[in-house]
Amino acid sequence: MPSNYESDQKLRPDTMKECTFNPPHGDPAFDHLPMHRSHCQRIARFWNEVISDFLGGVSSQCRSPLDSWFASYFGSKDGVKRDDVFPEPYMGRIDGNPRMVFLALNPGQAFPSFQSRSGVFAAEIHQLGSYQAWAATWPYLRDPWNSQIGMDRFHRSRLTFMRRWYDDKTLSEDHMLTFELFPWHSKRLTAPIRPDPAIITEFVWEPIADSGAPYVFAFGADWFSILPRLEGFEVIDSLGFGGRPFPTKVKPGARKAIMIGRTPSGTTVIAEKHSGGATPPSETETALLRAEIRQLNL
């Protein structure tokens, strides 16, 4: 077995905890999408089958082009990629009408007691009938994840950002979607992710365009090197550090920067970075960014 990933790890008996999961009200199948959402429908069905096969004992890389996608990242030590837990290509209601889409690098650290074939989340997927139905429940924003692992800062910070952007505290997680650049887990990223641009177009850009979301955001410095490398991605404007002036309140040393680009599918993506990690900007900086973006009529 290659040393750059972990596969089929055995779980200790004491890693599992009993829990009760109550599926949300409404249609749990989400099997049919409008005809104009054909890319979302195709990707949803593809991943439903891949995750179902994985939970049945098949490798998550068994279908093309997933083998190529999996090989596009070679981390080491804490960056070792995991094939003993199911991949998470997107999160949220792919059949919904999102107000905002967020890009993520990968799903982060694996917790086999939740994400392995015998984990808590695997049982939920079986109960709901598909990965699509499970992802629509936003499992990282509810119990048992919250009570056993803790609050998920990544998704919660983006929910807060979306509410600030629209100045609407009534917006819920059902109004947002996330898509992963690399859908397999690793504790950290210790090497560049270099996927085939055609894969990203098919599995990320096209369903995002299909979703009709008016805004797509990517937070963190990594996106400033990743996005321009993807064939067909066009940088159309740069603001702040390294670009034209931007009315920010942060100190000059923070090197705040904004990159605006367009995907091969015609979707506008706004990438933002500042010192302090890959978190969304503060409430004040969000208001300044919103005003600038609206002036650009994006």
Residues 90-102 pLDDT 10s: 999 999 999 999 9
Does residue 197 sit within a domain? Answer: yes
Does residue 12 sit within a domain? Answer: no
Strands 5-6 and 81-82: parallel
User: Which residues of the chain fall short of a pLDDT of 70?
Assistant: 1-36, 252-254, 276
Does residue 4 sit within a domain? Answer: no
| Rounded Cα gap, residues 70 and 129, in angstroms | 25
Q: Which residues neighbour 230 within 8 Å (Cβ) at sequence distance 6 or greater? A: 195, 197, 200
Does residue 79 sit within a domain? Answer: yes
Residues of the domain holding 180: 33-295
Give the per-residue pLDDT at 5.
55
Give the per-residue pLDDT at 29.
42
What does pTM read for this prediction?
Answer: 0.89
Q: Are 179 and 207 in contact (CB under 8 A)?
A: yes
Does residue 180 sit within a domain? Answer: yes
Structural domains in the chain (count): 1
Does residue 147 sit within a domain? Answer: yes
Tokens at 108, concatenated: 């982060």
| Rounded Cα gap, residues 209 and 206, in angstroms | 5
Does residue 213 sit within a domain? Answer: yes
Does residue 10 sit within a domain? Answer: no
Q: Are 87 and 45 in contact (CB under 8 A)?
A: no
